[in-house]
Structure 1
Amino acid sequence: MIQTFAALLFAHVLADFVLQTGWMVTNKRAPAAMLTHIAVVFVTAAATIGTLHPILLGLAGAHLLIDTLKTFSGRRGLMPFLADQAAHLASLVALAWYAPDLWDSGLWPGLAAAPACLALLAGLILATRAGGFAVGFLMEPWAPDMPVGLLGAGRAIGMLERGLVFILVMTGQTGAIGFLIAAKSVLRFGAVGDDRKISEYVIVGTLASFGWGIVTAILTLSLLTHLPPLGIPDLSP
């Protein structure tokens, strides 16, 4: 079951946070955009598992239902985002429980380390890409009052710092996270200065970003303990 879940989790985050284009997100109320996204969900799951098992159509249908409810609810923000992802996660768990041998029926069961690799990649995508959306939604109410910087620079910085935090936790170098925070504080000091509003914005965003990266890495490590080892000492169960 756990191999099936790891593969489905990777397929989900790949379809939702890497392969879902801005056009799909912006036009999701239109059938063409929604169905294109659902097609990507199905193809990604089928390729990851290595089978065209009909049950994957059920997964695509569940994804369609969840996305439709979210889209037409008109709600936006951190809590709707987390609720949406929790619903998708529940559907993955349900499918893995219902068809625990789905991974073994596909093309890749001979690759013993594949599920762990997929879990690791899923964790990295969740830490960087999904974390960007989560932190962005959290900071959205205060963003209009902040000065404008380089286009896309804040997003890139956030992805890099969460990626580094994820790697540090996964490799057992958690002590280095403190140095990373200190380095960011020093670099930000000149720009923030005595402006309390900007200081608080930076502190909240930084803590949220680092916290997301740490929690995602811990959950990934927990998942890896139930999978065949990767052969990398610090990442092995």
Structure 2
Amino acid sequence: MIFFTKLLLAHLIGDFLLQPTRWVVHKEVHKITSKFLYLHISIHFGVTMLLLWDLNQWQWAALIAVSHYFIDLGKLYSNPHFKNKAIPFFVDQLLHIIVLYSCAYHTNLLEHTIALVKEFDWNLITAIVFIGAPSSIIMAKLLGGMSDRIELDHKSLPNAGKYIGIIERLFVLIFIILGRWEAIGLLITAKSVFRFNDLKESNSRKLTEYILIGTLLSFGLAIITGILYMWVS
């Protein structure tokens, strides 16, 4: 496990801490001819060797560096074809982690992967999935009749409310699992404070009631999910 942790740490340092934004921009423009692409790969090799602190492990550092080069090239040339730039980024990171995982557990890769999958907490995974998009859709259906009566005089970020709801429900679920029910109250208070100015400026009772119902419904779904998870676990 410590071998994989060192490889992952080297990746995080090389990809995020030691890669300035101007390098990223230069690579996106010049792609395979960018000098920073090769400097970036060299840094990955160096940091990996430094953390492993064993010259006999140089082949793994070299393999990771070479695979990193081709994965990054694939990202650079495919990136313009994606409207959502987050997709190639996360695919790129996932491929890097798969390479690191394969190097760390190459002697028993299949057995370790099977054992890892068997250890998954499927109840927790189901709970996390439910408080995400399914809960957002449920809330949209329940609040659909009310939202048509609300007049908004300001613009917000696309799907901002949806993502805020998902994140807050995730926090609620975590707090329930940790047994920190008081933190849920603090979360509700924090959200109320952030919403106070919007409600004050709008001076709309309908909007206030709509936000209150939506908040209670969101927290209620998360709390019920958390209780059910603790009950079946």
Q: TM-score, normalised by structure 2?
A: 0.48
Larger helix fraction of residues: 2
Greater RCO, CA 8 A, separation 6+? 1
**Which has more radius of gyration?**
2
